[in-house]
Every structure is written in structure tokens, then in C-alpha cells.
């Protein structure tokens, strides 16, 4: 099998999604399954739908188009504000889009009229993280203007937290968002049907027992893929943390000094190299680099240390363990490394399917037995 490659266990993905859907259903919160990290891969999308997720979300219209071409008919939401230049494509393939600018909604309205369609809009509200969002004091004016656009249906409001500035979702900002929905209902005689509280970072709040208020939707991607809480990257109880692994091939393995020698300048990426320690070690190079992954987002097996990466080479210290050229090493990834690996055309993506669901090799793990089993090294 070719390397480097991502190995995606769709049965573990399905388990993670199903567990979160079940837990949140009891709180009156639906899940939008976010497909952007897997570039709208239809097999991943179908695993989410098979877990009970009803609607999918992606930040790129290209990924939504790919899923439509694959025959996926589930409701689709574009979770990044559309580019006006893509308004016709957004209206053609996405049922709903997240918006903050009236000019963009105007472009969607015109595109929907041309296509003889209606397009749903969720208005994103700024709640402190300073990424996208309408300031709360401007929301009523924006709603008033949005309601005038033909062929546009106001579906709800939403917010995003913990992405740009690390502002955590909590009882305070979720209550504020709920109150905004109440204010809009009263001011405009509406029933705001969708109040999307945020992403995987909301899970700690959502499952804490705090009142959900009007929050009835979360957009989940990272927690399903990696089984981690994005606020502290700790495992979420009951979820697999090894559903996705990265496998790379060794192209050099030699005993070398731990310290570089010669006149030291900046590295290829502008940093000063670490000084290292005296002595020597088995220094192994793998055919993988910054063009493919974020080296800071890789976790190697016990006893192996990731030293750094150039564009095309990943250097690791294998301690006293010798590996030979042509052998393979497996790593776990954080979200940053996963996004880059998925985007790289040089990293093969393999998807294991449950038995009887296709021609792909089934590498399905048994159902979870304990937290220790769920979080064991893959």
C-alpha cells in the first residue's frame, strides 16, 4: 500500500458520531455533521448519515458539489459565508448558508431568483471570539433588511466560538444567544427555528447539564474525527481517539550526532534550530514534510520523538530502536495536521468500511469496552 497515507476507520467514525447524536438528542440539540476536514469525501459523509446525523455542513462549496455528484441528497449547509462570485453555485447545491453581510445575501437572492429557487440563510452573530458575526446591537436591523430579499428564507441565527481567539462557549454566551432569538421572535413576529450554538468546542457546555435555552443545533467535525474536546484536546469519554492514523515510510535511518555542527543560521522556515544534546541517536527520516502535515500536530508511538520537518522530510529520533529504509511508522494527528494531510495530493487517503458495505478492506474495530480500550494506541 502506498505511503504516506491516512487510514480512516469509518466504523469508529460512525460510532463517535452516533454517540454524540444520542447524547445531544437528550438535550434537544441536533447535529450538523461537518465534512470539511475530509474534503467532502462521500464515504465519510455517508458514515455520518448512517450514525443518525440528518444534515451536513461544509465550508467550501466545492466539497458540497462533490457530495451532490456522489448522490448525497441530505440537507447541506455552507458554514462559511459565501463568496458573492459563487452565489449561483451556492444556491444550486446548498440548502442553507451562514451569512453576515447584506451584500452577500443580496447576491444569493438574485441567484435564487434566476434559478427559481429559495435559499435558506442563518445569520451569524459575534459573541466575542472575533471571527465572523454581526454585532448583537446590529442584529435587528440586519434581520429587518434580510427579510425584504426575495427568494430568501431566514432560517435562524448562530455563532462561532473558540476558533480565532479561544473564547469558550459557556452558560453566559449561550444564554445571550438564546435571548437574541427571543428578541427577534418578539420584534418581527417570527419563530427562529435554528439557533446554532457553535462547534465541537460547545460539547463541554452542552453535556454539562446547563440549560440549553434556545440552542438546538451544534456543528460537529473535530470531536467526531478525533474524539477530543477542542478546548483542551483531552479525550471525550466513550469516543475513539484513533479513528484516523497517518502512516509514513522511512527513507533514511542512521546513527548521527544529536547536535548540528558548523555555523548555525535560520532553518528553511525561518526558525533557529534546537540546540540538541550531546551524544548520538538513531536519526530516522520519513518521506513526509510540511507540505503535507503540521509536524507539531503529530504524536508518535512511545519511545519515538518527532524532531522537526522541512518541506519534504520528517525527522524523528527512535532512541535505541533501529528501523530500516522501506519500513513504515504510524502517527496520530491533531486537527491542524489532519487538515493539511487531507489537503495534500501526496498523501493517499484510505477508508475502511464495515463488512458487507463495499469493496474496501474492512478494518473494523470491535465495539468499545472501556475508556482504556478506546484511547489505546492504534
Measured in whole angstroms, the distance separating CA 372 from the mean position of its chain's CA atoms is 25
What is d(CA 360, CA 183) in angstroms, rounded to the nearest whole number?
51
Confidence at residue 103, expressed as pLDDT on a 0 to 100 scale: 98
ω into residue 191 within 30 of 0, thus cis?
no
Look up 36 and say whether it is catalytic.
yes
Nearest alpha-carbon partner for 357 in 49, 1, 32: 49
Q: What is the pLDDT of residue 15?
A: 98
pTM for the complete prediction? Answer: 0.91
- In this structure, is the dihedral angle defined by the CA atoms of residues 358, 363, 366 and 369, taken in order, positive or negative? negative
Which pLDDT tens digit goes with each residue over 253-308? Answer: 998 887 888 888 887 887 766 666 666 778 899 999 999 999 999 999 999 999 99
SS3 category, 9? strand
Which domains, ranges and CATH numbers included, belong to the chain?
A: 9-232 (3.20.20.10), 244-346 (2.40.30)
Instruction: Sort 313 into a burial class: Cβ within 10 Å, 0-12 / 13-18 / 19+.
Output: middle
Query: Tell me: the pLDDT tens digits for 302-338?
Result: 999 999 999 999 999 998 788 999 999 999 999 999 9
**Secondary structure class of 216 (helix, strand, coil):** coil
Q: For residues 228 and 234, is the Cβ–Cβ distance under 8 A?
A: yes
Active-site residue identified among 36, 155, 263, 349? 36
Amino acid at each position: 500500500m502506498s505511503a504516506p497515507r491516512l487510514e480512516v476507520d469509518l466504523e469508529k467514525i460512525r460510532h463517535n458520531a452516533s454517540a454524540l447524536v444520542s447524547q445531544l438528542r437528550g438535550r434537544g440539540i441536533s447535529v450538523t455533521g461537518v465534512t470539511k476536514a475530509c474534503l467532502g469525501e462521500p464515504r465519510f459523509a455517508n458514515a455520518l448519515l448512517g450514525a443518525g446525523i440528518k444534515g451536513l455542513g461544509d465550508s467550501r462549496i466545492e466539497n458540497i458539489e462533490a457530495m451532490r455528484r456522489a448522490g448525497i441528497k441530505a440537507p447541506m449547509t455552507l458554514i462559511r459565508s459565501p463568496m458573492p462570485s459563487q452565489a449561483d453555485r451556492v444556491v444550486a447545491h446548498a440548502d442553507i448558508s451562514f451569512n453576515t453581510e447584506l451584500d452577500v445575501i443580496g447576491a444569493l437572492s438574485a441567484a435564487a431568483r434566476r434559478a427559481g429557487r429559495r435559499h435558506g440563510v442563518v445569520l451569524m452573530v459575534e459573541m466575542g471570539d472575533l471571527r465572523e458575526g454581526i454585532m448583537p446591537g446590529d442584529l435587528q436591523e440586519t434581520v429587518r433588511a434580510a427579510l425584504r430579499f426575495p427568494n430568501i428564507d431566514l432560517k435562524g441565527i448562530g455563532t462561532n466560538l473558540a476558533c480565532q481567539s479561544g473564547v469558550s462557549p459557556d452558560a453566559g454566551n449561550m444564554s445571550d444567544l438564546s435571548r437574541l432569538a427571543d428578541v427577534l421572535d418578539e420584534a418581527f413576529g417570527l419563530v427562529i427555528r435554528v439557533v446554532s450554538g457553535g462547534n465541537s468546542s460547545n460539547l463541554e457546555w452542552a453535556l454539562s447539564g446547563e440549560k440549553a435555552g434556545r440552542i438546538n443545533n451544534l456543528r460537529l467535525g473535530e470531536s467526531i474525527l478525533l474524539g477530543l474536546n477542542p478546548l483542551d484536546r483531552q479525550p471525550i469519554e466513550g469516543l475513539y481517539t484513533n479513528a484516523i492514523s497517518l502512516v509514513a515510510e522511512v527513507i533514511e535511518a542512521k546513527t548521527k550526532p544529536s547536535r548540528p555542527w558548523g555555523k548555525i543560521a535560520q532553518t528553511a522556515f525561518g526558525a533557529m534550530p534546537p540546540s540538541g544534546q550531546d551524544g548520538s541517536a538513531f536519526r530516522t527520516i520519513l518521506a513526509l514534510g510540511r507540505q503535507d502535515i503540521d509536524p507539531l500536530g503529530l504524536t508518535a508511538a512511545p519511545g519515538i520523538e518527532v524532531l522537526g520537518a522541512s518541506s519534504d522530510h520528517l525527522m524523528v529520533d527512535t532512541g535505541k530502536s533501529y528501523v530500516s529504509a522501506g519500513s513504515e511508522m504510524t502517527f496520530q494527528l491533531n486537527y491542524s495536521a489532519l487538515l493539511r494531510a487531507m489537503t495534500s495530493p501526496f498523501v493517499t487517503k484510505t477508508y475502511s468500511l464495515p463488512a458487507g458495505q463495499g469493496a474496501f478492506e474492512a478494518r473494523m474495530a470491535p465495539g468499545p469496552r472501556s475508556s482504556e480500550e478506546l484511547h489505546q494506541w492504534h
